[in-house]
Chain A
């Protein structure tokens, strides 16, 4: 099955600096890569996603890049703010037969924004 590795497990950056979280996946059949943000005690919320036919996607301060050849994708957050502090999860998903397939998640990155 799919295996998703995520690094680092903890990332501390100064407010206003950039943060980068990296993930690798093992199954070349994976074609959808979402990123979720989870604040303490709350549900995971989708913040951005990318499909395998796209190399980069941006939404305001957040961007995601995908390298299919190397099987890795990254989340970039620029101009970090205190409200960016949370746990971030990457995930990979592939199509399975005629129906859906579940997500395989990385173990998460605890992002800490230092004031």
Chain B
């Protein structure tokens, strides 16, 4: 079974802090994704990566950056946290097969509060 592990379930930080959210997958998936989930807005794509050191902006990348130094690990970075980044953050991964989309598997999420 696919295992996507996010380092923290709950996190509280202060405005202006640099925040790191970590995600690890154990299935050797090529693709990894970061979404945020807000009530009434569904899930929105922040960034994704299809290979080590590769990254692509999603729909709402402003205020975020990402790092993928190893295939199994994908980090989301809030450069200078603001209160409007209080949200649930979900990591997902999928494998690439014959250039066709494959199901994404999600982690349990990190509920981040910025005070």
A residues near B, CB below 8 A?
1, 6, 31-32, 34, 36, 42-46, 49, 51, 89, 91, 93, 95-96, 98-108
Contact = CB atoms under 8 A, between A and B. Distances in A.
A42 B59 contact: no
Given A89-B43, A102-B58, A105-B42, A95 B108 contact: no
Interface string B45-70: 10010110010101100000000000
Chain B interface size band reads: 20 to 34
Contact of B43 (A44, A46, A95, A101): A44
Contact of A100 (B40, B96, B107): B96
B43 A103 contact: yes
A99 B31 contact: yes
Contacts of B59: 1, 102, 104
Contacts of A31: 101
A105 B44 contact: yes
Contacts of A95: 99-101
Interface in B67-110: 90, 94, 96, 99-101, 103-109
Given A34-B103, A43-B108, A100-B101, A89 B42 contact: yes
Contacts of B54: 99
B12 interface: no
Interface of B: 30-31, 33, 35, 40-45, 48, 50-51, 54, 56, 58-59, 90, 94, 96, 99-101, 103-109
Contacts of B56: 96, 99, 102
Q: Which one of A49, A93, A102 has the greatest number of beta carbons of chain B within 10 Å?
A: A102
A93 B101 contact: yes
A111 to B, nearest CB: 15
Nearest to A89: B42
Given A43-B108, A44-B43, A32 B99 contact: no
A97 B63 CA distance: 25
A49 B108 CA distance: 21
B77 to A, nearest CB: 18
